[in-house]
Amino acid sequence: MFKQTFKKFKKVNPLSDLQEVIDLDNYDANNSTNGLCNIVNPKDISEMDIRKSLDFPVGLQPLRMWRCYTLKKHPGLLIIRNPFTFRGQRYWIARSLRDYPLPPNTVNLDAKHFSSKTISDWWGELHHCTNPNLVHRLKTAMRWTTLGYHHNWDTKVYDKTMHTPFPSDLCYLSKYFSLALGFPNFIPQAAIVNYYPIGTSLNGHTDHSEINHEAPLFSYSFGQTAIFLIGHGTLEEQPSAVYLRSGDVLVMSKESRLCYHAVPRIMKALEDPWNNLFTNPNEKLDTFNSSMNFELYDQLNDELFWMPFNRYVTDCRININVRQVYSSDR
């Protein structure tokens, strides 16, 4: 059932098939035809309790404005519908493109097909390239970069010797979400940043390589829209399909943590909230925390500086997924 559903949504046509996809922007709790979505009351999230441990990160909407959903058929799965401001989205897009692929982090590009200069600074090469064919090649070749504990794609395990510093800003962001959603013991230790040009996909799989399966997995989406499939413990069971739009945060916890999931389709977004300058016009920097790159955050108001990042996300999706590998940092 999972594979059949994946193939159906991967097809370009007919578009009528997409009526089955859960759309959180057009969900009526009182007149739901699929009976899958259930709104989590924002008042259950205590901002005061979080502030005892962490300051409110710049680039996020206040907690009272968050729209958090669960899927009744998939206990433990949570989706927050874009809690980011426009500049918050820009910040994580820029970090994912410019900074996270840099050494000592690991990327999928290999020496057989790319120069050492491209492997060590993919974004710099793409940004300054003027050959349209090479631009296309560079853009579509980059599929992932890993941070913190690096997953070995051959052995499917994490090796403690394959470890580089985890980005402090991404750590802070993930700890904030974990506290807000009731996971106070979560430790961000590893991340995979996936790059999805329109037309690409990710086959069904489970994230079982981590030693600690009790800890949730946090997933941040930016750029173009994805159809996300969430299944159950086997491929024989029918999955559900939901749109993940730019700024959405998905959390796989408890029963959903080891469920099959996939991305069969990347679609052109109906809007670009990373360019919506009026998302939060009163955003200030007085609560800016030291884990973030202040210079970058400030530059993202400059449309000329933002232009190359904007060109990338006009036909690509970025997904940052953060997980805890071990029970502790020791």
Tell me the pLDDT tens digit for each residue of 255-309: 888 888 899 999 999 999 999 875 554 455 445 566 889 899 999 999 999 999 9
Q: Per-residue pLDDT for 16 more than 70?
A: no
Q: What pLDDT score was predicted for residue 281?
A: 46
Using DSSP, state whether 285 is helix, strand or coil.
coil
First to last CA, the chain: 41
Q: What is the largest CA-CA distance in the chain?
A: 56
Grouping H, G, I as helix, E, B as strand and the rest as coil, residue 26 is: helix
CA nearest to 83, candidates 211, 173, 146: 173
Q: Give dist(CA 178, CA 54) in Å, integer.
A: 11
Q: What is the mean pLDDT of the chain?
A: 86
Measured distance CA(25)–CA(67) in Å, rounded: 10
pTM for the complete prediction? 0.91
What per-residue confidence (pLDDT) applies to 86? 93
Query: What whole-number distance in Å separates Cα of residue 200 and Cα of residue 221?
Result: 15
Indicate whether 46 pLDDT > 80: no
Q: What is the pLDDT of residue 15?
A: 60
| Cβ neighbours, 10 Å, residue 53 | 10
Contact 90, 300 (CB under 8 A): yes
Locate 307 and state its tokens. Answer: 């232009």
Q: Are 95 and 293 in contact (CB under 8 A)?
A: yes
In this structure, of 42-56, 110-124, 151-165, 215-229, the range with the lowest mean pLDDT score is 42-56
Task: State the Cα–Cα distance between residues 76 and 41, nearest whole angstrom.
Answer: 15
pLDDT at 50 over 90: no
> Would you say how long the chain is, in residues?
330
Asked whether the predicted pLDDT for residue 38 surpasses 70, the reply is no
Determine phi and psi for 324, rounding to 5 degrees. Answer: -100, 125
Cα 261 to the center of its chain, rounded Å:
14
Question: pLDDT tens, 154-201?
Answer: 787 887 888 999 999 999 999 999 998 989 999 999 999 999 999 899
Give the mean model confidence (pLDDT) for residues 230-238. 90
User: For a pLDDT cut of 70, what percent of the chain falls above it?
Assistant: 85
User: How many angstroms separate the CA atoms of 101 and 127, rounded?
Assistant: 14
Q: Count the Cβ atoms, other than its own, within 10 Å of residue 321.
A: 18
Is 159 labeled as ligand-binding?
no
CATH number assigned to the domain with residue range 2-108+143-323, chosen from the 4 options 1.20.1250.20, 3.40.50.880, 2.60.120.590, 3.40.50.1000: 2.60.120.590
Place of tokens 């796989």: 252
Are 42 and 68 in contact by the 8 Å Cβ rule? The answer is yes
Query: Could you give the angle at which helices 86-94 and 303-313 cross, rounded to 10 degrees?
Result: 70
User: Residue written as tokens 């029963």?
Assistant: 255
Question: Could you read off the pLDDT of 68-93 as tens digits, one per residue?
Answer: 898 888 989 999 999 999 999 999 99
User: What's residue 278's pLDDT?
Assistant: 59
CA distance 28 to 34: 10
Q: What is the mean pLDDT of residues 203-210?
A: 82
Domain ranges of the chain: 2-108+143-323
pLDDT, greater one: 36 or 209? 209
- Quick one: average pLDDT of 16-32? 73
Residue 150 among known ligand-binding residues: no
- Please check if 207 is assigned to a binding site: yes
Instruction: Please report the DSSP string for 246-276 in residue order.
Output: TT-EEEE-GGGTT--EEEEEEE--S--GGG-
The Cα–Cα gap between 163 and 291 comes to: 20
Res 110: pLDDT? 92
The C-alpha atoms of residue 92 and residue 169 are separated, in whole angstroms, by: 10
